[in-house]
Structures are given as C-alpha cells and as structure tokens.
Amino acid sequence: MDLVKPAFGLVFWMIISFSVILFLLKKFAWGPILNSLTERENTISDALNTAQKAKEEMLALKAGNEKLLQEARNERDLLLKEAREAKEMIISEAKTKATEAADKILVSARENISNEKMAAITELKNYVATLSIEIAEKVLKQELADPNKQKELVQTLLKDTKLN
C-alpha cells in the first residue's frame, strides 16, 4: 500500500527542511517573540503591582489624613472647652474681685462716714462746750456781777455739796 508506506524522498526533504526551519524560526522568530511576550507580561504585572501599591498608599494616606483631621478636630474641641472654662473662670474671678472691691469700698466708705461723723460729733461737742462755756461765762459774768449773788451761789453750792 502506497498510502501507508512513507516515501523516502519526502521523509528526506521533510527532516532536512524541518530542521532548517526549526533552527531559523528558533533563532529569528520564537526567541524574540517569546522573550518580548515574557517581557510584556512582566511589565504589565509590574505596572499592576505598582498601581496596587499606589492604591494602598493612597488608602493609607487617606486614613492618615482622616486621623489627622480627627486629631485636629479633637484639639479644636479641647481648645474650645479650655477657652470656655477660662472665660468662665475669668468672669467668676472678675466677679469675686469686683464684689471684694465693692465691699472694700463700702467698708472704707462706712469707716470714713463714721470717722467723719465722729469728727463732726466731736467738733460739735467741742463747739457746744465752748458755746456753753461762753454762755456760762456770759451768764456768770452777768449773774456774778453783784457780790451778793456770788455769795448766794456759793451758799447753794455749798449746800448741795454735802460732806460725808
């Protein structure tokens, strides 16, 4: 059967030309093609990895920002609280100080008033005393101008003053 009997010439040419084409394609086609395929795949996977990394970094950055923002917000709240407290403290302090000062003023005013009053009273007393003495002097001068009357007075005075 010709159909199933390999022809010598065909096998001969096939082996020779297949070896030649294998060599040529290996050197000029498969080598460069496979190399650049691998290279391209590496480039793509590298690019994907880089993108993934960048994404992760972005996420980290975002989380950091969030944290920073939260911290800032907390700080602001704290500051506000402190400020409020300080304000209240200052107000209350001022109030107490004002009260104290008012009290002091009141006290000193009262003292002054009493002092002035005392001074006025003393002055008045002194004036009344001098006035009384002057009056008494005038009265006495008038009364005692007559020596009888002087005697009469001495007599009365002596009468009132009982010797024990």
Please identify, using beta-carbon distances, which residue of 17 and 156 lies nearer to another protein.
Answer: 17
Report in angstroms how near the CB of residue 9 gets to another protein at its nearest: 4
Count of residues of this chain found to bind another protein when the rule CB under 8 A is applied: 33
Please identify, using beta-carbon distances, which residue of 31 and 64 lies nearer to another protein.
Answer: 31
Please identify, using beta-carbon distances, which residue of 13 and 127 lies nearer to another protein.
Answer: 13
Report in angstroms how near the CB of residue 56 gets to another protein at its nearest: 24
Residues of span 38-67 touching another protein by CB under 8 A:
39-40, 43
> What secondary structure does DSSP assign to the chain, as a single string?
--TTS--HHHHHHHHHHHHHHHHHHIIIIIHHHHHHHHHHHHHHHHHHHHHHHHHHHHHHHHHHHHHHHHHHHHHHHHHHHHHHHHHHHHHHHHHHHHHHHHHHHHHHHHHHHHHHHHHHHHHHHHHHHHHHHHHHHHHHHHHTTSHHHHHHHHHHHHHHS---
Q: Does 7 bind another protein (CB under 8 A)?
A: yes
Residues at the site binding another protein, with contacts judged by CB under 8 A? 2-15, 17-18, 21-22, 24-26, 28-34, 36-37, 39-40, 43
